[in-house]
Amino acid sequence: MDAISSAVALLKKHLSVEKVDSSLIEVPRDHALGDLAYPCFIHAKELKKAPQVIAKEGVEHITKAKSLSRTPFSKITAVGPYINFFVDSGKLAATLLSTIIKSSNPKSKALYGKGMIKRKVMVEYASPNTNKPLHLGHVRNISLGHSVSKLLDFQGMKVIQVNINNDRGVHICKSMLAYQKWGKNAQPDIKTDHFVGKFYVLFSDHAKDNPAFEEEAQDLLRKWEAGDKETIKVWKLMNAWAYNGFEETYAKLGVAFDKYYYESEIYKEGKKIVMDGLKKKIFYKNKDGAVVADIPGLDTKVLLRSDGTSVYITQDLYLATLKAKESRLDSSIYVVANEQNYHFQVLFKLLKILEYSWADKCHHLSYGMVYLPHGKMKSREGTVVDADDIIENMKDLARVEIRKRYHDLTEAEVDQRAMIIGLGALKFYLLKIDPNRDMHFNPEESISFEGETGPYVQYAHARICSVIRKWKEHAGKNAKLPLSADAALLREKQEETVTKLLSQFPDITKEAAELYRPSVLCRYLLDLSQAFNEFYHTCPVVAAHTEELRDARLLLCEAVRIVLHRGLYLLGIEAPEEM
């Protein structure tokens, strides 16, 4: 049992309260006050006692019951309203390392840190338009949605990953019109989604000098909605190209979806919900005949135009009901950029106005924009950084770094490592920033093997693999890591720091999942990697003074490797054995 879980177990047993919230446990800035601290303010009303009295009596009960012997704590004290826990790293390591290493066994049913929350969650992300390829902003969206899905799954939840394809509308028709005018029935000679995107840019270039093209695109949309055969044929052809290209990019990023939704199949269905709301006098018609809703605290929102056509939020109303009907969800998460904050505020309030019982289960995971040195990306001007281009760029930068360090690798080996490191650098850089913040992407900074980067964490994992290989060379290639050792020997300051960090992994992953913030896990993996590197440079492993100490340090190394590997996996990043 890790330190926090042990502290919670003691508090539950000896405080005589209904609930002990593990998220309230703090790490004191002043280490003289202990390694963990629990505030008793929250129980003052329930127990009708002052917090400092609760803390003092709680420590007295624990001491009197002699409960410390079965915990990783050397002592527990009361300081004002806080109960402070002092971790005995030797005792902690004795149980913790064994738990972590046993959990790495493929036959183990209990992965270290895995939760047991039985909920069904849907995570919607990616959501591309089919008139252009995916870009860097999509990569942040996809990295965030994929990692959050993994974190929720690690908490024991059933996670359904879905993707809504925005495959209709005037923006789609602009690419179609350009292809009809200037494509001359050409077949893709580049990646298929890039081929489609080329015509979107081409349309924008021509429309600058000929505004009439905008009206032609609107006419094409009307033909599409009327089911014109030639228009539908071009639409299907170009959408197929877009989807094929998207799937190639998803594969590069290691992402797959459980279900796809298509705007073209649902955009009309929301009208029924709106008309039903009109009949019930939840909505009303304004002077020009449009159906509108008054949104408390926000504004008046048009739901159907005066000509009866739907707006974007109309289809989202239907999609929300469709998700709830098909999957009976405990939570529905929308991963969408903060440009749509108002849209989702309106959507969720509309769902409540319509009295859907599950309306409170919808959550908008809003994230900030990705900026480049020259400013915001603009697809219509062709200045966007395509996802495929940034992936190749990161791979090229990684290749340069690998060649600097290793001169004897084959081109195939360099290429394989470059993809793992390049993608790891890209994803980690995008995930380490809190989702709600805008960010500037710096490829050169992200690829560094030093500093707060993905390659730094990957390198720590590879270094441990190297330590274990070195030990096997000394002990014999068939040698296996010891399954047990005297972990109480791990008394050096650096060893204690690593052990305490390892014990925090379950709570870190739980916090990252609850907050939908992989950045919490990124910060932890950086801290663990740094602590391991300090241990590695201070405490000899293979050349330890005694075999017993060597075995204990090998176990510590292996436990760190397992946690780094699992942590990177939860970020959607591969953990290489060699860099």
Query: Does an H or E element contain 160, and which?
Result: strand 158-165
385 neighbors 401 (Cβ within 8 angstroms): no
Q: Single out the residue of 399, 398, 401, 400 nearest to residue 428, CA to CA.
A: 398
What is residue 373's predicted lDDT score, i.e. its pLDDT?
Answer: 64
pLDDT in tens, 421-459: 999 999 999 999 999 999 988 888 899 888 899 999 999
Q: What would the two tokens of residue 479 be?
A: 């040698």
pLDDT in tens, 92-129: 888 899 889 988 876 666 899 999 999 999 999 999 99
What is residue 380's predicted lDDT score, i.e. its pLDDT?
Answer: 44
What is residue 374's predicted lDDT score, i.e. its pLDDT?
Answer: 59
Question: What Rg do the C-alpha atoms of the chain give, in angstroms?
Answer: 28
What is residue 65's predicted lDDT score, i.e. its pLDDT?
Answer: 82
104 neighbors 331 (Cβ within 8 angstroms): no
Half-sphere exposure at residue 483, Cβ-oriented, CA atoms within 13 angstroms:
4
Q: What would the two tokens of residue 475 be?
A: 């002990």
Q: Is the dihedral of CA 368, 373, 378, 379 positive or negative?
A: negative
Q: What would the two tokens of residue 517 be?
A: 């913030």
**Max Cα–Cα distance, the chain, nearest Å:** 88
Positions of the chain with pLDDT lower than 70, given as ranges: 1, 106-109, 373-384
477 vs 483: CA distance, rounded Å = 17
CB count within 10 Å of CB 568 equals 23
54 vs 191: CA distance, rounded Å = 66
Half-sphere exposure at residue 77, Cβ-oriented, CA atoms within 13 angstroms:
10
What is residue 108's predicted lDDT score, i.e. its pLDDT?
Answer: 66
11 vs 76: CA distance, rounded Å = 11
Domains and CATH numbers, the chain: 3-87 (3.30.1360.70), 169-256 (no CATH), 389-570 (1.10.730.10)
Report, in this order, helix, strand and coil percent for the chain, each rounded to 5: 60, 10, 30
Strand partners, 293: 301
Indicate the pTM of the whole model. 0.90
What is residue 377's predicted lDDT score, i.e. its pLDDT?
Answer: 43
Q: What would the two tokens of residue 216 be?
A: 């032609």
What is residue 381's predicted lDDT score, i.e. its pLDDT?
Answer: 46
